[in-house]
Structure 1
Amino acid sequence: MDFVLVGRPVPDVAVVTLNRPERMNSMAFEVMIPLRDTLRSLSDDTSVRAVVLTGAGKGFCSGADQSGDVPDVPHIGGLTTPTIALRMMELLDDLVTTLRGMHQPVIAAVNGAAIGGGLCLALACDIRVAATGAYFRAAGINNGLSASELGLSYLLPRAIGSSRAFEIMLTGRDVDAAEADRIGLVSRVVDEADVVAEAVG
């Protein structure tokens, strides 16, 4: 199964779809590493003028994979557990910096939940369009982390201002699409069926 799909609905635009809907497109490494490599390839493709990032099914990206499966992380043989954890975070950080460094503008078509690392992926995009049922959560604080992972403490205040950002980061509460629109987290809210088309258009 291909966990990352690339479509060309119009000649100059590439739509990249996270394709693990049964796990709400969580950040499993078998998804995130191909996503990073796909984005790098598209960044160098001069026929692509814009990139749209979205998720299959009901979620945009639900963040850390909580399935309990052993993560498929490359190049960790013989490493200690703390070093493996560091490598895992470095790989995910690399994905966010890849998005930020794309040669083309990247539009997040947020079709559903953008939780934890999924919120970070959306924030790493240049523009965010949300479906009416989309919601956002800085879930790190709920998982015993700092809520500053993957650039969140840098990206979120730049998008919506420091006071709103820190309240969202420290409470871990859900921000629905209407509030996200009101505070400037997204550019617009559209019907779920139209979110990718709106991002492409």
Structure 2
Amino acid sequence: MSFVLIDKPRPHVTLITLNRPERMNAMAFDVMIPFREALEEVGRDNDTRAIVVTGAGRGFCSGADLESPGRIPGIEGLTVSSIALRSMELLDDVIRAMRKVHQPVIAAINGAAIGGGLCLSLATDIRIAAEGAYFRAAGINNGLTASELGLSYLLPRAIGSSRAFEIMLSGRDVDAAEAERIGLVSRAVPADKLLDECFELAERIVNFSRPGIELTKRMLWSSLDAASLNAHMDHEGLAQLFVRLTTQNFEEAIKARKENRPPTFRD
């Protein structure tokens, strides 16, 4: 049985599904390593212009698998301390891979996104949730810190610091309606419409210029790390000049508007 499935449901759109529904797609290494490899593979596929990530069954991802964590590769001869470090690095690499792929990544959050699953959802570029989905920063409930896999970096930037502190320190559930209200997801939709909503958004994105979309994703993430507005504006300006001066996209957009037709960007 493959724990990660790759499909192409629409032209230029790739769907990656975490496929361990009996464990609510928990972050066992047998799931997360193939998932990272799938992201890297799809990221190299130049026919893919947008990526949708979801979970099979009733959960998006339920965080750490405490019963069946799977096999950690390359740990022969290491002590517990080193094994722990290698384990965390493997999971951190999944978060980094999501951010590194050229294409926008849309999370179709079909159910519970708990602990590391919440982190996984936050590492995507756009989040759309089914109405029955919910989110929990679960580490605090397990006697640990709530911060893991970049959560204390990503969550305040998504919803603001006060809300992030409250959610992470209380360990409470955030349902889909609240998640939409506070900006944790862009919208909540009926479960039976979730994938179609994500595919339709992906199809809208793929109609635009490839470098325009890829550089916009890069600039948005870069803004979260920017030391100042001035520093970030320099990066934005260079990105805009790059696309403006190396393609005929702008001219095509103007011509298409005059001719009352959709533009065809050839980059």
Normalising by the smaller structure, the TM-score range is: over 0.9
Kindly indicate whether structure 1 or structure 2 has the higher relative contact order, using CA contacts under 8 Å at least 6 residues apart.
1
**CA shift digits 1:100-128 (9 cap, x unpaired):** 11100000000000000000000000000
> Which runs of no fewer than 5 residues in structure 1 stay unpaired?
none
**CA shift digits 1:119-160 (9 cap, x unpaired):** 000000000000000000001111222111100000000100
2:58 is matched with: 58
Q: Please give the alpha-carbon distance, in whole angstroms, between the structure 2 residues aligned to 1:81 and 1:195.
A: 42
Say yes or no: does 1:106 pair with 2:105: yes
1:4 is matched with: 4
Q: Secondary structure at the match of 2:25?
A: coil
Q: What is the aligned length?
A: 200
2:18 is matched with: 18
User: What is the CA distance between 1:70 and its match in structure 2?
Assistant: 5.7
Structure 1 stretches of 4+ moved >4 Å: none
Bigger Rg, structure 1 or 2 = 2
Q: Please give the alpha-carbon distance, in whole angstroms, between the structure 1 residues aligned to 2:80 and 2:196.
A: 43
Range with bigger deviation, 110-119 or 139-148: 139-148
* Paired letter, 2:180: D
TM-score by length of 1: 0.98
* Paired letter, 2:156: P
> Which runs of no fewer than 5 residues in structure 2 stay unpaired?
201-267
Q: Please give the alpha-carbon distance, in whole angstroms, between the structure 1 residues aligned to 2:46 and 2:146.
A: 36
TM-score by length of 2: 0.74
Q: Please give the alpha-carbon distance, in whole angstroms, between the structure 2 residues aligned to 1:141 and 1:103.
A: 34
Q: Secondary structure at the match of 1:103?
A: coil
Which structure shows the bigger proportion of residues in strand conformation?
A: 1
Which structure shows the bigger proportion of residues in helix conformation?
A: 2
Q: Secondary structure at the match of 1:72?
A: coil
Are 2:40 and 2:101, in contact at CA under 8 Å, matched by a contact in 1?
yes
Supply the RMSD in Å over aligned alpha carbons. 0.8
Aligned positions of 1:34-183 closer than 5 A: 34-67=34-67, 69=68, 71-183=70-182
Q: Please give the alpha-carbon distance, in whole angstroms, between the structure 2 residues aligned to 1:146 and 1:108.
A: 25
Q: Please give the alpha-carbon distance, in whole angstroms, between the structure 1 residues aligned to 2:148 and 2:85.
A: 12
Q: Please give the alpha-carbon distance, in whole angstroms, between the structure 1 residues aligned to 2:46 and 2:70.
A: 34
